[in-house]
Chain A
């Protein structure tokens, strides 16, 4: 039985309230959802919150899921919304206007606000620097980058998950990659 057919059976079982099926569906997706949530929020507590909200929503609304749709698309959309909701919630507690002006038109905006990562990185794990740099991207750029690299989605799938056009996906990824390049200047030469 292929993976998609197997997942379909799991979803059917979930619809009838089979707890073991929930568990297996959760196990299939939990690590990638958690990774996206962790790298998006930057802290374990928020990531746990996001994962819990994603799967609670998923399990309680699985009756709405139509079998002709692709389950992963639905899951990605719920994940994106949960991440952005968590971000909005956090903003209410931290009075920093770091998320303004996220329209696609202003390609050079990040250059104004970036903080260059420099010096003494040799003692620091490379991936840790990348995690930090990703954490500094604006939320819409960050979630696009995370979806691309943790879920390996096509631009069309990303557009569906993010609720935008493929052109917007391309623009956000362009900006995200360029901003990361600027933030990770110190690693140039280490990463091929």
Chain B
């Protein structure tokens, strides 16, 4: 008997798409085949998981825009049936009108709307406030408005339809931009937890010393009264950027930011205390001597997992210092074919990308994505005293 595995039919089996005879054959096979049974469990789990997705109501405003597009047509009354009997030149005009209507509709969507909608805020604990108004249960944070929590209050912000942000006590955040396709908060002080399920680069958070760019993730962000911040990523990735200084932070990693120097070098949170402290010395170094001294102490402490940190240090050093970072990195994680010490010291972007691959933190498409141009921050938040 030829033993044919049944993996290719398993979704159809789960969905009841097979004839009774086919289904029986597959059922019998699954009883005796561990490999196919494992595949079946995977597919059934995937199928059950996707049932968690719920129907989302279309916003009412879509019909309004659609009507506007239809009204922009030259013959409103009988346009549908009139299209086809028309002479060729009229047909061409109609096509142009439709194209114009679609363009108009798209233009309407891409143009910032009247900014009176904002994002929904739900009270979790205590009495969070939007401006000077306390939130009893739910409120609406409009662009430009501040949400403030005191020592006993917490709130949750719905980020359009792409995610949620929880605001912890003693925090102050502002909705910086909620125009279509843009989701931007600013945090002046406090702590927030963000969970974003949209594709990368849909959600931004301005802090006084860096911009956190969501690359599809869950993370916490803390900012103190001096404007220094701490980003910790729990899922996915975040880019942390300020004035040309960039850090790319994966799940399990942390990145600090300071008002005077922007984002520091990211590190995994299970790194040793001495490694983290020495890295902080490197990031805070005011001159080459201090920098080299910190680097001397740091490099021998690096583990293989600290390749993330070493890779970032390549772009924060030059010349011989960069060569030493390269030497330590490649002693822990061999360089891929085609990557040379000389090329890395010279800043060859392709080689730096290639060095990313063996870190096993995702392929370099993440890197390319990260390097896409950042939208400019709406405004830098100056560290101020709280006016409340």
Tell me if A81 counts as interface (CB < 8 A to partner B).
no
Chain A 89-119: CB-based contact to B (< 8 A → 1; otherwise 0) = 0000011111000000000000001010111
Q: How large is the interface on A (under 10, 10 to 19, 20 to 34, 35 or more residues)?
A: 35 or more
Tell me if B363 counts as interface (CB < 8 A to partner A).
yes
Nearest residue (CB) in A for B197 is A132
Tell me if B66 counts as interface (CB < 8 A to partner A).
yes
Q: A15-B81, A59-B80 are in contact. Are A177 and B46 (CB under 8 A)?
A: yes
Other-chain contact of B43, A133, A181, A184 (Cβ < 8 Å): A181
Q: Within B1-55, which residues are at the interface with A (CB < 8 Å)? A: 7-12, 14-15, 17, 39, 42-55
Whether A17 pairs with B78 at a CB distance below 8 angstroms is yes
Contacts of A14 in B (CB 8 A): 80
How many whole Å from A48's CB to the nearest CB in chain B? 6
Tell me if A123 counts as interface (CB < 8 A to partner B).
yes
Whether A123 pairs with B102 at a CB distance below 8 angstroms is no
Tell me if B281 counts as interface (CB < 8 A to partner A).
no
Whether B199 pairs with A135 at a CB distance below 8 angstroms is yes
Q: A34-B57, A43-B162 are in contact. Are A130 and B80 (CB under 8 A)?
A: no
A62 to B181, CA, bound (A): 30
Tell me if B74 counts as interface (CB < 8 A to partner A).
no
- 22 residue pairs of the A-B complex, CB under 8 angstroms, read A16-B81, A17-B81, A19-B70, A26-B63, A31-B58, A32-B55, A34-B58, A38-B161, A39-B53, A44-B160, A48-B62, A49-B106, A52-B66, A60-B80, A63-B84, A124-B235, A132-B197, A146-B53, A170-B12, A173-B11, A173-B12, A191-B52
User: A-B pairs with the 10 shortest C-beta distances?
Assistant: A177-B46, A34-B58, A180-B46, A132-B197, A45-B181, A173-B11, A17-B78, A45-B180, A181-B46, A181-B42
Which B residues form the contact surface with A (CB < 8 A)? 7-12, 14-15, 17, 39, 42-59, 61-63, 65-67, 69-70, 76-84, 98, 101-102, 105-106, 109-110, 160-164, 180-181, 193, 195, 197-199, 201-202, 216, 218, 234-236, 251-252, 362-363, 365, 368-369, 372
